[in-house]
Homo-oligomer: A and B are copies of this chain.
Amino acid sequence: MIARKWLADKLLAIGHETTIDGIANVYGRAPSDGPVVLAGSHIESQNHAGWLDGALGVVYALEAARVAKESGVSGGVDVIAFADEEGHFSGASFLGSESFAGDVSEEVMDGSVCRSGRGRLRDLLADAGLAGRERVRIDTARYRAFFEAHIEQGQTLETEDLKIGVVTSIVAIWQYRITFTGIQNHAGTTKMAIRRDAGKALMGLWHRIEEEFPKISGPHSVWTVGHVALSPGQPSIIPGGAEMLVQFRDAEPATLDRLKAKLYELVKDAGEGPCTTTIEALGESKPAHMSEALQSTLIDAAKVHAPEKWLIMPSGAGHDAQVMAPLIPSAMMFVPSIGGISHHWTENTSDEDIAIGAQVFVDAIGRVMSGG
């Protein structure tokens, strides 16, 4: 809330009509009837994380709004800082931007709870003094474009000594829980031949995934087994149950479909072994394609401020821009992450790269407002 109030003060200072709304989105509306661009990102990051993930894009947006005001153009830049981009609360993947898009009902608000156990969203909003406030919804007719800047959170730009990533699309994330049910038994007295070891069944499927996915994945596909649990998880007990979370990401629907079909085929094969195997889809988001015209605008700006130091690339991480993209033409821009690190306090970008990013971002928005 301190960061939100700081931002609201800065927006008020340049004449924006500003509110912290009923879901804690900070929204500053430029005093303009000309062409308006919406710009922003999020302030909150992961717990114990760094200083740039989200916040950098909000500060870039503030800078774009200031420049627009000082340049005296007829248009303006509205600024938004979306709440809970990281998914701290249940009910939606991008609670703040989805609320702004009109996709979060009052029932979802009522049921939303903190995933780290700090209680109900409604209560925490009330504690922050936001009870009863309206939630702002996007006025799509007002906007020519949405622009979001963000740290890359990967090493592509750094490795190739580049300064700007122009995002083509934000990948879809498809995620599945796979459970294995065998028979829990004594690890000393149960012969190998009659075991129904749920952990071993899990390992077998995981191995098959790592064998098969590289054969059918696309050039930008990524897949991860980030969570595994054996039950009861004791060294002298054959696991009777096991669970894994499998996630894959790609921007191409055909690739996503191919990976899913293979995963289901492998799960079916695994179920013909000694353990029962089930799969449950936890999420199958849609890839979001950024506006091609706005990509060109970003490239034009990058050619001025970072000549030959830019790249077009997909985003492997999810961002608020994917929620805006179906509503208004949207653009997304990356600056380098040192060592590719994010969601950690060592997350950083060089001062030089931060400045170059701001120049490209502000220049591109200026081109949109002037019809370029």
Contacts and interface: CB of A to CB of B under 8 A. Distances in A.
Contacts of A340: 185-186, 189-190
A71 B173 CA distance: 77
A188 interface: yes
Interface in A9-28: none
A188 B222 contact: yes
B317 A188 contact: yes
Interface stretch (A97-105, A151-159, A267-275, A287-295): A151-159
Contacts of A76: none
A168 B273 CA distance: 33
Contacts of A342: 186, 189
Nearest to A209: B203
Copies of this chain per assembly: 2
A238 B224 CA distance: 7
Interface string A203-231: 11011001000100100011111111110
A234 interface: yes
Contact of A188 (B190, B200, B206, B316): B316
Contacts of A221: 192
Contacts of A245: 235
Given A188-B171, A200-B210, A343-B186, A226 B233 contact: yes
Interface in A240-277: 245, 247, 249
A199 B221 CA distance: 18
The size bracket of the interface on A is 35 or more
Q: Which of A155, A210, A226, A317 has the most CB of B within 10 A?
A: A226
A355 B315 CA distance: 71
Given A154-B191, A194-B155, A236 B247 contact: yes
Contacts of A217: 192
Given A203-B210, A230-B228, A186 B316 contact: yes
A131 B190 CA distance: 40
Contact of A190 (B190, B316, B344): B316
A228 B153 CA distance: 28
Contact of A192 (B171, B186, B222, B344): B222
A318 interface: yes
B207 A203 contact: yes
A237 interface: yes
A152 B189 contact: yes
A236 B224 contact: yes
Nearest to A337: B189
22 contacts: A152-B189, A154-B189, A154-B191, A156-B191, A175-B235, A187-B226, A188-B222, A188-B249, A188-B318, A189-B340, A190-B222, A190-B340, A192-B214, A197-B224, A199-B228, A203-B207, A207-B207, A226-B230, A226-B236, A226-B238, A227-B230, A237-B343
Q: Lowest 8 A-B CB distances belong to which pairs?
A: A154-B189, A188-B316, A187-B224, A188-B317, A153-B189, A189-B316, A235-B245, A226-B235
Given A188-B315, A189-B340, A235-B245, 14 more contacts: A155-B190, A171-B188, A185-B340, A186-B340, A186-B343, A187-B249, A188-B316, A189-B342, A192-B217, A204-B207, A226-B230, A226-B233, A226-B235, A227-B235
